[in-house]
A and B are shown apart, each in its own frame.
Chain A
């Protein structure tokens, strides 16, 4: 188990698909909390988020042979759970659409650390008032601490679009967090 802990995700995935499927427990252990937190931000329902993550892990296991070990395992896994969560969101339509938020002035530039602090302090109030289009990349960037490249792989959008959405989301955060 000691050696399993030291292995990278990609190496573990290789072991799961070629030698020992029991090693999948370690991958679940590494990501379940992060993925649960991420799915809960998206769905706003802990039970549904748990379902999405469980289904995500099952789908990831079934399709593990399609994973390209030259790429990042975490991005691949986040992508699967993201899809599961989005399916649940579109089914329940529980997220709040805030068209009026999109119309506001986005000319204010803030330091990332300040935004991160504000998001963490007023987390739900801030995120729940945002449209999913901006909420998702912001959550991945500030809370899950993913790079633009990883967000691009998870959401399957160009890195330029990731940057644009995050910049717009930052301006929204400034407005929303200051109001709450």
Chain B
């Protein structure tokens, strides 16, 4: 049985029926994985920061304003941020160090690092510079229009309510 096993495999090797994948294939794979992880982390930081930015813009508020904020809040941003973090964790699991350490701790550190980085960016005001430029500015303006539109709509509804009352 053992001799046959060796013979079978070596016959396949010698005949070229099985060939080694080239080294660049694996180098490319690990490079893509690393870039994927870095890209996802940056994306998640950016989107988490964007969520902080919109939260900060609305500020702490009363019940009806909170409802208004919840209605107009761009939920796709934190949703994408969470998806980015989940994908990042998936990539992290592919790395060899992941099983040597406590993986729950690695996940907690990864999530904390992203939230902390986003918070620091928000605190230092770098995002205000970003949000004043280009597409981000458009996005901000769009959100503000959306926000003010809903606000005036609510005010009108409030007035109507007062009249009927």
Contact = CB atoms under 8 A, between A and B. Distances in A.
Interface string B93-123: 0000001111000000000000000000000
Interface stretch (A63-71, A128-136, A168-176): A63-71
Nearest to B19: A62
Interface size of A as a range: 20 to 34
Contacts of A158: 99-102
A24 B20 CA distance: 12
B8 interface: yes
Given A62-B20, A65-B20, A65-B22, A25 B6 contact: yes
Contacts of B9: 24, 28, 54, 57-58, 61
B23 interface: yes
Interface string A19-58: 0011011001100110010000000001000100110011
Contacts of B99: 152, 156-158
Given A22-B14, A158-B102, A61 B20 contact: yes
Contacts of B23: 65
Contacts of A157: 99
Nearest to B98: A156
Contacts of A22: 10, 13-14
Given A22-B14, A58-B12, A158-B101, A28 B5 contact: yes
Interface in B69-100: 99-100
B10 A65 contact: no
Contacts of A33: 2
B20 A17 contact: yes
Contacts of A64: 20
Interface in A143-158: 152, 156-158
A54 B11 CA distance: 12
A53 to B, nearest CB: 7
A21 B11 CA distance: 11
Contact of A32 (B2, B18, B19, B26): B2
Contacts of A29: 6
Nearest to A28: B6
A28 B14 CA distance: 14
Contacts of B56: none
Given A24-B10, A25-B6, A61-B9, A152 B20 contact: no
A28 B20 contact: no
Contact of A54 (B8, B13, B22, B102): B8
Interface of B: 1-2, 5-6, 8-10, 12-14, 18-23, 25-26, 99-102
Listed from nearest, the 3 A-B pairs whose CB atoms lie closest are A156-B99, A66-B26, A65-B23
12 contacts: A21-B20, A25-B6, A28-B5, A46-B1, A54-B8, A57-B5, A58-B12, A61-B18, A62-B21, A65-B25, A66-B26, A158-B101
Given A22-B14, A61-B20, A63-B20, 7 more contacts: A17-B20, A22-B10, A28-B9, A61-B13, A63-B21, A65-B23, A65-B25
